[in-house]
Amino acid sequence: MTLAIFDLDNTLIAGDSDYLWGQYLVDQGIVNRGEYETANARFYEDYKQGQLDIREFLNFALQPLAQHDPEQLYAWRSEFVRTKIEPILLPAARRLIEEHRSIGDTLMIITATNRFVTEPIARLYGIEHLIATTPEFKEGRYTGHYEGIPCFQEGKVTRLDEWLNQHERSLEGSWFYSDSHNDLPLLGLVCHPVAVDPDDILSQHANQQGWPLLSLRHGTCPDQHLEQVRRVRL
């Protein structure tokens, strides 16, 4: 089956779940507002500029998981998804996902944002396969560290290669939808790269390469793109 791969933040949702989770922790008084908000904003700007030190960021972002019982964390996460994520789900993204599903494609989300935050979001879209940065969990608690390779930039390629080998699959006919120039390593490998509401760097690169540009922020997924998805499979 053909893989239809989706980035998550600012692609399938109208915002960045990692950043929004940090803001939720600030708003609830779970972390120190001044210190955490300043650092969260700095890391997010570094990400947009393509200068994020992913290991430094993960050491920062995963610490709150180590400071609280999982039961409490899951309760906070449920409220976060309900109040911060559900309002920014995109009907056009859902239509695009369902088009790929209807023609038998295997659906996958691949994201740098950690699995604790993203797993329930993938479920909201009915996407079974999720490759995400993995928080370490030992003896019934999160440790504040991560396992394996962060799923970021070239790390997405490495993590996807591991999945492909494990499942005896290939990238033949594959699609990848992303908004970010941080995903150029993977966009350059798939058969059908698509820039979705792209940042300036990705938009310029997509135009140079002749890649499709797509917006899911307004209305529904364009019929022209859905027809292209169907036509490729004929």
Task: Give 89-110 pLDDT, tens digit per residue.
Answer: 999 999 999 999 999 999 999 9
pTM value? 0.95
Give the other-Cβ count within 10 Å of 80's Cβ: 21
Catalytic residues: 7, 9
Mean pLDDT in residue range 163-169: 97
Confidence tier at 176 by pLDDT (50, 70, 90): very high
**To the nearest whole percent, how much of the chain has pLDDT over 70?**
100
DSSP 4-30: EEE--BTTTBSS-HHHHHHHHHHHTTS
Quick check: helix, strand or coil at residue 107?
strand
**DSSP letter assigned to residue 174:** -
Domain boundaries along the sequence of the chain: 3-233
| 213-214 β-sheet, strand order | 141-147, 129-138, 106-114, 3-6, 175-178, 192-196, 213-214
As a whole number, mean pLDDT of residues 37-63 equals 91
Specify the CATH number of the domain 3-233: 3.40.50.1000
Residue/partner pairs of 206-212 with CB below 8 Å, 24 or more apart = 211/187
